Amino acid sequence: MDKFLIKGPSKVRGKVSIPGSKNASLPILAATLLFDKEVIVKNLPRVKDLEVMISLLKSLGSKITLSKDKKTAKIINPKKMKTFANYSIVKKMRGSFLVLGPLVAKHKNSKCSLPGGCNLGARPVNYHLEALKKLGMSYTLKDGYILAKSKGKLKGAVITFPKVSVGATENLIIAACLAKSKTTLHRCAIEPEIKDLTNFLNSAGAKIKWSGRTCIIEGVNSLKQTEYSIMSDRIMAGTFCIAACINQGDLEIENINSKIINTELNLLRRVGARIRCIENKIYIKGPKKIKSIKNIKTKEYPGVATDLQSQLMVLMCKAHGKSNITENIFENRFMHVAELRRLGAKINIQKNTAIIQGVKKLVAAPLMSSDLRASISLVLAGMSAEGESRVDRIYHLDRGAENFEKQLKKIGVNIKRVK
Ligand code: EPZ
């Protein structure tokens, strides 16, 4: 199993370009199942989760041609498609569950594996299933599979999600595109990745409109051919901004619309970073003294992104004074805390709040990744600590961070991948 060796402390200097967004690519690729005309999707990130989604679509019958650089996919679906989403694939990547909505909408049935839990918590899919039922899908659960079907086309409905859910919102928007008449979804997630999905579908003739957290979808008979370029990855952009705040870094981050990480940029301004945003670039200089921040709370967008929580925690480990971070989205997203303590971080957990007492110095140690974002934060911690840290199980990181070590090396980090 690959691991990283990182020599710290290191400050980052130079330019990074942000790749396409993993969390926009997954729903958009799942949505291609609605099409029977050619679809071209560009600016895909080269990460393992995308490989899994592409292998899932191919297992369903999609004909997919990838460009040499693997950033563009040309997809055409034959009339006859399979509708069996195998556990062997779905268990690798929860986002695979997003194929359920389009398969039932287009083919009126699906045998789709329930995704397993993951390190962040139980992560049920009840909101997806209850809402799809309201569109006319019926299902039974057998041997860990959802056996779903609909008598004829799905029918539009008015649905209010019990809680904001990114995946459930995406599954329903996709399914409603081909449903009869109008579907109104209340209490939707409004992450930029969901707006990207909306723009993609509307570029193919779907009729989706937004008003706050309400999404209205007028069903259409079919979607047209389209070519679409995925948005940049705001979580990777936020990660590099945080990296610039460790040891007074100085970065030019290009290919990112700074508005979509405005909440996090304002937080880093409070930490003491100097930030300028011009067109699709962010110029950021880290502070000499990292200011502690009280009451950082992760929330649904436009709140502080839960996917940046562990990275922010690394930064607070060397802030002057006490900070606290409350995780409101997942029940178990502090797996990185025990690892940060191994470097000498002073972190106390009270229910879903981490209280971090800043320390002057972190000292290198062997570290273990537990999920994608935690593994990224352990790399940042290795950059912040003195000495050589080792980060194990970086297959977690390879799921969603394209060429991360190459990008870090280019901006001055002493990092290498070893077997
Ligand atoms: C998406 O996960 C992202 N994944 C996550 O990113 C991200 O952390 C999360 O949204 C929150 O922003 C992708 O986009 C592929 P949710 P998702 O449904 O859709 C509970 C990463 O590292 N819930 O908004 O699974 C759920 O357990 C990943 O890229 C139910 O109870 O998130 C969680 O506590 C990690 N029932 C909360 O809602 C449901 O049916 C939010 O989950 C659905 C969700």
Q: Structural domain boundaries of the chain? A: 3-19+232-418, 22-229
The residue type found at 401 is: A
CB 232 within 8 A of CB 255: yes
What three-state secondary structure class fits 181? Answer: coil
188 lines ligand 1 (CB under 6 A): no
329 lines ligand 1 (CB under 6 A): yes
CB 386 within 8 A of CB 356: no
pLDDT tens sequence across 47-106: 999 999 999 999 999 999 999 999 999 999 999 999 999 999 998 899 999 999 999 999
Same fold, 3-19+232-418 and 22-229: yes
192 lines ligand 1 (CB under 6 A): no
Where do runs of H (alpha helix) occur along 177-271?
Answer: 192-203, 234-245, 262-271
pTM for the model stands at: 0.97
Cα separation, 56 vs 3, whole angstroms: 27
CATH architecture of the domain covering 22-229:
Alpha-beta prism (3.65)
Question: Above 80 in pLDDT, residue 116?
Answer: no
pLDDT tens sequence across 123-158: 899 999 999 999 999 999 999 999 999 999 999 999
Q: Which residues contact 27 (CB under 8 A, 6 or more apart)?
A: 95, 98, 170, 174, 193, 194, 197
Any idea which residues carry the catalytic annotation?
118
Cα separation, 103 vs 90, whole angstroms: 15
Region class of 266: left (phi > 0), else alpha (psi between -120 and 50), else beta: alpha
Handedness of CA 51, 374, 415, 274 (dihedral sign): positive
pLDDT tens sequence across 259-278: 999 999 999 999 999 999 99
Report CA(288)–ligand 1 centroid distance (Å).
35
CATH architecture of the domain covering 3-19+232-418:
Alpha-beta prism (3.65)
Tokens 């600590």 belong to residue: 385
CB 277 within 8 A of CB 265: yes
Report CA(138)–ligand 1 centroid distance (Å).
23
- The confidence score (pLDDT) of residue 117 equals 63
pLDDT tens sequence across 220-250: 999 999 999 999 999 999 999 999 999 999 9
- The confidence score (pLDDT) of residue 299 equals 98
Region class of 53: left (phi > 0), else alpha (psi between -120 and 50), else beta: alpha
What three-state secondary structure class fits 341? Answer: helix
- The confidence score (pLDDT) of residue 121 equals 81
pLDDT tens sequence across 353-401: 999 999 999 999 999 999 999 999 999 999 999 999 999 999 999 999 9
pLDDT tens sequence across 13-36: 999 999 999 999 999 999 999 999
126 lines ligand 1 (CB under 6 A): yes
- Kind and range of the H or E element at 52? helix 48-60
- The confidence score (pLDDT) of residue 1 equals 87
Work out whether strand 322-326 and strand 296-297 pair parallel, antiparallel, or are unpaired. Answer: parallel
Nearest Cα residue to atom 37 of ligand 1: 329
- The confidence score (pLDDT) of residue 413 equals 97
Question: Above 80 in pLDDT, residue 118?
Answer: no
Q: Which atom of ligand 1 is nearest to the CA of 129?
A: 40
Choose the residue to mutate in 25, 119, 165, 373 for probing ligand 1, maximizing ligand atoms within 8 Å of C-beta.
165
Nearest Cα residue to atom 4 of ligand 1: 23
Cα separation, 376 vs 48, whole angstroms: 15
